[in-house]
Structure 1
Amino acid sequence: MNETRRRVLDALADGPVSGPALADDLGVSRAAVWKHVEALREAGFDVESDEAGYRLAGVPDSGSEALEFGLDAPFTVEHHASIDSTNRRARELAESGAGDVVVVADAQTGGRGRLDRDWDSPPGGVYLSAVCRPDLPMARAPLYTLAAAVATARAAREAGVDARIKWPNDVLVPDEAGGARKLAGILTEARGETDRVEWLVVGVGVNVEATREDLPAGATSLRAEGGAVNRREFVQRLLAEFDDLRDDLDAVLPAWRESALTLGQRVRVETPGGEIVGRAVDVESPGTLLVETGDGPVRVTAGDCEHLRPVDDA
């Protein structure tokens, strides 16, 4: 959103404000003010006008300008009603030199998860990919994945859903039977050298408005869990939480532990070197899972984790 459009929105939100007063304040013509107002209306903003002037009566739940308006994080937003993959578009932007850009889509036609698996991306979800250029070595890049998981879980809990994190990158909602349903997944891609990250793309896919009948088995959504569904507020909260964590990476692991569903669970982890079974006891920097097995502790840096059953510590 350009700076003049942003200032027009801020003035309307504090309105009513007359067209002439707004033109004088911004140093533009009255015709320019009218064009900005009409553009906002076309973008879905509810702008009322009467003899007192213009006022902002409502904000749409999607669109680049709507998602940037009131966002407490320094991201530019590129919104799409539908796209093949937000991560693919974010990589394209990253390669062109962009940073602090978030690609957001209401639906994806070619979403991908870890290990190039298909990611079901029906309309009504939140699919976003943030382009970041952090000043850190590649070895610490996994902390951004953990930060995104924490941010997603926190945003879901603020919406009224008891979201928890399964190592390494899934956000789940525990059920009454001791299992859990998948709410969101995260995929991080990076480019750089050993001692320096050139760019990171952190992709997050969240089921928001879909009913349980419309989702694959084992999946859930904010709506299905009875959460408050406001897609704009959810995206903004997620991005604000993520921005806070990326600015304080030392806070990521403690925050991840607080939201973890995996810790304390008996797990089976499929790794490139074989299967590891034991009790998940901790996560260490930059995202290593510590599993206590019959042969002693094992540190797992990558793999597919399955929760077997709660561990009885009594």
Structure 2
Amino acid sequence: MNETRHRVLAALADGPVSGPALADELAVSRSAVWKHVEALREAGFEIDSGDDGYTLSAVPEFGGPAVEYGLDAPFTVEYHDSVPSTNARARDLAADGAGDVVVLADEQTGGRGRLDRDWHSPSGGIWCSVLVRPDVPMADAPVFTLAAAVAATRAAREAGVDASIKWPNDVLVDGADGERKLVGILTEMEGEADRVSWVVVGVGVNANVDPADLPAEAEPTSLSAELGEPVDRRTFTQRFLELFDDLRTDPDAVLDEWREYSGTLGREVRVETPDGEVVGEAVDVAFPGALVVETDDGRVTVSAGDCDHLRPV
């Protein structure tokens, strides 16, 4: 959404504003004001016209302009009703030099997860990829996965779902029938050893979807299934982005909050790594995102792998 339309919405939020007053405030013609108002209406904003002028009466439930409206974070949102992969689209934008862009979709038709697994993303979820250009070395980039996990977990808890983080990239809900996956995260990056060029953090939130419509092997749940009613996707997306924006420049806070929300620490775990299996108690997370496991042979720091929770300690 362009800057002028942001300013139109900001003016309308304060009450009825006449066309001439808007034209003066924005330094544009009355015809241009009308065109911007009509474009906002086409985007789903309900703008009434009365004797006192224009009034914003309702904001669309979801979409790029809806998420940008009132968002307290410096992101531009590119929205798609359906897209093969938000991460792939974000990579294309990165190649064009973009930054601080969120690719958001109602549905993904060709998403991918870790280890190149299919990621089924039906309508009703929150499927987004955040493109940032941090000034950090490549070795530090995994901290952005942790930041996204913390942001998603906090947003879920604020929405009323008692979520926790499973290392390295999932957010789960613990129920009577075991752990259920609520959020998946896939981070991609490009750069050289001493500097990241860009990072794309792909986040899939099972929002208002039926868990039966998701792959059974993921043992999924959704926000709506946990709450018993649909969640406000616009509010949830905004909150996630605002939290992520706060955390992306504060790695110390990321690790502290990750520990607080972790469902992995204190658990007996089995981690499949490229060098073999590591079994023991998960005791800590080390910057920029490695899991520290206490094994029978001593402590092992695992940078990457598939983690299974075995039993509480």
- TM norm. shorter chain > 0.5: yes
Q: More deviation in 11-20 or 140-149?
A: 11-20
In the alignment, which residue of structure 1 is the partner of 2:14? 14
State whether structure 2 residue 211 is matched by structure 1 residue 222.
no
In the alignment, which residue of structure 1 is the partner of 2:202? 203
Deviation at 1:292, TM superposition (A): 0.7
Q: 1:264-283 counterparts in 2 under 5 A?
A: 264-283=266-285
In the alignment, which residue of structure 2 is the partner of 1:30? 30
- Please say if residues 159 and 228 of structure 1, whose CA atoms lie closer than 8 Å, have aligned partners that are also in contact: no
In the alignment, which residue of structure 2 is the partner of 1:66? 66
Aligned counterpart for 2:246 among listed residues 244, 266, 269: 244
In the alignment, which residue of structure 1 is the partner of 2:186? 187
What does the per-residue CA deviation read over 1:86-113, in whole Å, with 9 as the maximum and x for residues that have no partner? Answer: 0000001111111111100110000001
Distance 1:126 1:212 in 2: 14
In the alignment, which residue of structure 2 is the partner of 1:133? 133
Distance 1:115 1:173 in 2: 23
Distance 1:90 1:14 in 2: 35
Distance 2:28 2:93 in 1: 32
In the alignment, which residue of structure 1 is the partner of 2:303? 301
Aligned counterpart for 1:310 among listed residues 287, 309, 312: 312
Q: Which amino acid aligns with 2:24?
A: D
- Please say if residues 160 and 228 of structure 1, whose CA atoms lie closer than 8 Å, have aligned partners that are also in contact: no
Q: 1:80-229 counterparts in 2 under 5 A?
A: 80-177=80-177, 179-217=178-216, 218-226=219-227, 229=231
What does the per-residue CA deviation read over 1:247-272, in whole Å, with 9 as the maximum and x for residues that have no partner? Answer: 21221100100110000111111011
What does the per-residue CA deviation read over 1:143-172, in whole Å, with 9 as the maximum and x for residues that have no partner? Answer: 000000001111111111111100000000
- Please say if residues 208 and 230 of structure 2, whose CA atoms lie closer than 8 Å, have aligned partners that are also in contact: no
Distance 1:283 1:171 in 2: 16
SS of the residue aligned with 1:187?
Answer: strand
Distance 1:33 1:122 in 2: 37
What does the per-residue CA deviation read over 1:103-151, in whole Å, with 9 as the maximum and x for residues that have no partner? Answer: 0011000000111001110011111111111001111000000000001
What does the per-residue CA deviation read over 1:189-230, in whole Å, with 9 as the maximum and x for residues that have no partner? Answer: 011111110111110001000123333331011000006611
What does the per-residue CA deviation read over 1:262-293, in whole Å, with 9 as the maximum and x for residues that have no partner? Answer: 00111111011111111111101111101111
Normalising by structure 2, we get a TM-score of 0.97
What does the per-residue CA deviation read over 1:42-91, in whole Å, with 9 as the maximum and x for residues that have no partner? Answer: 11011112112111111112222111111111011100000000000000
Count of residues paired in the alignment: 310
Distance 1:97 1:71 in 2: 23
Unaligned runs of 5+ in 1: none
SS of the residue aligned with 2:112?
Answer: coil
Unaligned runs of 5+ in 2: none
Distance 2:200 2:304 in 1: 18
Q: 1:246-265 counterparts in 2 under 5 A?
A: 246-265=248-267
SS of the residue aligned with 2:120?
Answer: coil
Q: Percent identity?
A: 69
Q: Which amino acid aligns with 2:67?
A: L
Distance 2:34 2:79 in 1: 24
Q: Which amino acid aligns with 2:205?
A: V
Distance 1:282 1:228 in 2: 35
Q: Which amino acid aligns with 1:189?
A: E
Distance 2:296 2:24 in 1: 75
